[in-house]
């Protein structure tokens, strides 16, 4: 099974790019993040042969799954916390996660909170969100996450964490910033403790995101923050579709594609 994750940074702006990618990439499942639209505004890709599920509440966040190997048991809550910058207000669930069973594998498209600044409440929210994800994967969550995750599980998306210092173009630039802190990286290790492996370590020396500003892409100043973690299926090959970051109208992220052996055979 071939699974791709792509922070599309507005699916309505880049609908044609998604269609072209589906035609040439031969992916079985495409997980999108930051679709930036409501469910009603999400484009209809079913004419491409893919079923689709989308979770979007307004013009930011938003996640989707497109699958040509089945799409069943769609869910949007694994027990994650909500967020409101007013900590005394209701902490409403954001459109950052959608999961479904695709070809016998439980696949989640995840848009992990950015964290903003280390002193910002959004950073602690990010850590709690990731704690809930690891608890769900480990089967020790609470509330909605009392539902058990599947043995065959794939958690993919924009994690907003660089796993290693080598996954950013200049580690000193990130001193005192999010995305590289020990607390964030510890949450990735918690996923491994829950039995998942970092499938995208197969492409550990390539970036997946380049900021639009300061000509980061042209200078090769990127980050590896789009990741795939899997359990019960074996990654056999992986690549970053760097060409999708090129040209007019590109997202600031490139698709990350991983091939998996799902049935356990050689």
Q: Which residues are catalytic?
A: 111, 158, 253
Is 61 annotated to bind ligand? no
12: nearest Cα among 41, 39, 52, 48: 41
Cβ neighbours for 84, distance < 8 A, ≥ 6 positions apart? 90, 91, 92
Tell me: is residue 166 an annotated ligand-binding position: no
Q: What whole-number distance in Å separates Cα of residue 192 and Cα of residue 194?
A: 5
| Helix intervals (H) in 139-222 | 182-193, 216-219
Q: Is 51 annotated as a binding residue?
A: no
| Nearest residue to 29 (alpha-carbon basis) of 3, 63, 54, 47 | 3
158 is in an annotated binding site: yes
DSSP for residue 104:
T
Instruction: Tell whether residue 253 is among the known ligand binding residues.
Output: yes
| Residue 228 Rama label (left phi>0; alpha psi -120 to 50; beta) | beta
What's 166's DSSP letter? G
Alpha carbon distance 209, 213 (integer Å) = 12
Using an 8 Å Cβ cutoff, are 259 and 238 in contact? yes
Q: CA geometry: angle at 99 spanning 18 and 234, to 5°?
A: 85
Instruction: Tell me if 7 is assigned to a ligand binding site.
Output: yes
Binding residues for Mg(2+): 7, 34, 158, 160, 252-253
Binding residues: 7, 34, 158, 160, 252-253
């Amino acid at each position: 099974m071939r699974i791709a994750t792509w922070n599309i940074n507005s699916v309505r702006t880049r609908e044609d790019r998604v269609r072209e990618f589906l035609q040439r990439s031969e992916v079985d499942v495409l997980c999108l993040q930051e679709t930036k639209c409501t469910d009603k505004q999400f484009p209809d890709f079913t004419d491409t042969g893919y079923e689709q599920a989308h979770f979007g509440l307004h013009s930011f966040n938003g996640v989707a799954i497109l699958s040509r190997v089945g799409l069943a048991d769609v869910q949007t809550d694994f027990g994650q916390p909500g967020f409101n910058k007013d900590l005394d207000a209701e902490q409403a669930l954001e459109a950052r996660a959608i999961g479904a069973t695709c070809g016998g594998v439980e696949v989640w498209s995840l848009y992990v909170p950015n964290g903003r600044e280390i002193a910002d409440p959004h950073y602690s929210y990010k850590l709690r969100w990731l704690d809930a994800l690891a608890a769900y994967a480990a089967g020790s969550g609470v509330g909605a996450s009392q539902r058990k995750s599947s043995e065959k599980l794939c958690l993919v998306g924009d994690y907003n964490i660089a796993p290693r210092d080598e996954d950013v173009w200049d580690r000193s630039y990130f001193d005192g910033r999010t995305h590289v802190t020990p607390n964030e990286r510890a949450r990735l290790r918690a996923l491994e403790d829950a039995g998942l492996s970092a499938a995208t370590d197969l492409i550990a020396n390539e970036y997946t995101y380049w900021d639009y500003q300061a000509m980061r892409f042209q200078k090769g100043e990127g980050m590896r923050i789009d990741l795939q973690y899997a359990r019960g299926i074996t990654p056999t090959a992986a690549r970053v579709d760097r060409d999708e970051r090129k040209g007019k109208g590109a997202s600031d992220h490139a698709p990350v594609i991983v091939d998996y052996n799902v049935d356990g055979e050689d």
